[in-house]
Amino acid sequence: MNKKKKIEFIVKTLEDLYPETPIPLDHKDSYTLLIAVLLSAQCTDERVNKITPALFKKADTPYKMVKLTIEEIREIIKPCGLSPAKSKAIFGLSEIIINEHNGAVPESFEALERLPGVGHKTASVVMSQSFGHPAFPVDTHIHRLATRWGLTSGKNVTETERDLKQLIPEKLWNKAHLQIIFFGRQYCPARGHNILNCPICSVVGCKDTKA
């Protein structure tokens, strides 16, 4: 199967399995999504969703967030891990959003990536899911599946993002990245992966010899 046929099959399979792609992080607007995505670094979405209600009850806007101390934020988010760095980032980006963006989350990659604790992947999630701009957030899970399916030989998420953007039509980017995450969780885990039971690997093959 050549790469064109492979990507057509993968896209169709993902659409058949996941026609709806709800954002797995609970949020109500661009600010709470930004905070939730920042918290999800090296933490599961499930754990983030258990922590954010307590945080957002106290502070669901940047104006309310800066009324808390960094230590107060840290105590609430501690179960998410990396709480010292994340609490400083949350406080710092909230100050910048107030002082430089009139309290609104900026709608550009450049401005988002200048915020403390916000890298390209986090900015991509906010740009795609809050503002509807074409973006393809690639985390380690998407990187793993794209490698396993032979869609990229990239050595990091940046190279994998570049390759997937070339293969997958732009109009599908915002949905496809979530579909791949859902598929990985259900059918294509890093460990205990059964190729025969995987709707994609059983057809296109699997480059992961450990699978």
15: left (phi over 0), alpha (psi -120 to 50) or beta: alpha
Selecting among 6, 86, 121, 175, the annotated active-site residue is 121
Is residue 176 within 8 Å of 136, Cβ to Cβ? yes
**Which residues belong to CATH 1.10.340.30 in the chain?**
30-129
Nearest alpha carbon to residue 147 among 158, 155, 139: 155
* CATH architecture assigned to 3-21+136-204: Orthogonal Bundle (1.10)
Task: Please write the tens of the pLDDT for every residue from 13-72.
Answer: 999 999 999 999 999 999 999 999 999 988 999 999 999 999 999 999 999 999 999 999
**Number of separate helices (H) and strands (E) present in the chain:** 12, 0
* Predicted confidence (pLDDT) per residue in 156-179, tens digit: 999 999 999 999 999 999 999 999
Mean of pLDDT values over 190-203: 91
CA distances 134 to 30, 95, 180, Å, are 16, 27, 16
Name the nearest CA neighbour of 17 among 199, 172, 139, 195. 199
pLDDT of res. 208 = 65
DSSP state of 133: -
CA atoms within 13 A on the CB side of 55: 35
Give the pLDDT confidence score for residue 4 in this predicted structure.
Answer: 87
Question: 27 or 210, which is more confident?
Answer: 27
Q: Strand, coil or helix: what is 94?
A: helix
User: pTM of this prediction?
Assistant: 0.88
Contact 200, 188 (CB under 8 A): yes
Query: Are 152 and 163 contacting, i.e. CB atoms less than 8 angstroms apart?
Result: yes
Question: Of the listed 139, 163, 165, 175, which one is catalytic?
Answer: 139
Per-residue confidence (pLDDT) for residue 211, from 0 to 100 = 39
121: annotated active-site residue: yes
Q: Is 171 in the active site?
A: no
What topology is assigned to 30-129 in CATH? Endonuclease III; domain 1 (1.10.340)
Amino acid 151: pLDDT: 92
d(CA 112, CA 93): 9
The predicted pLDDT at position 142 comes to 94
Report the C-alpha gap between 88 and 147 in whole angstroms: 34
Chain segment 70-95, per-residue pLDDT in tens: 999 999 999 999 999 999 999 999 99
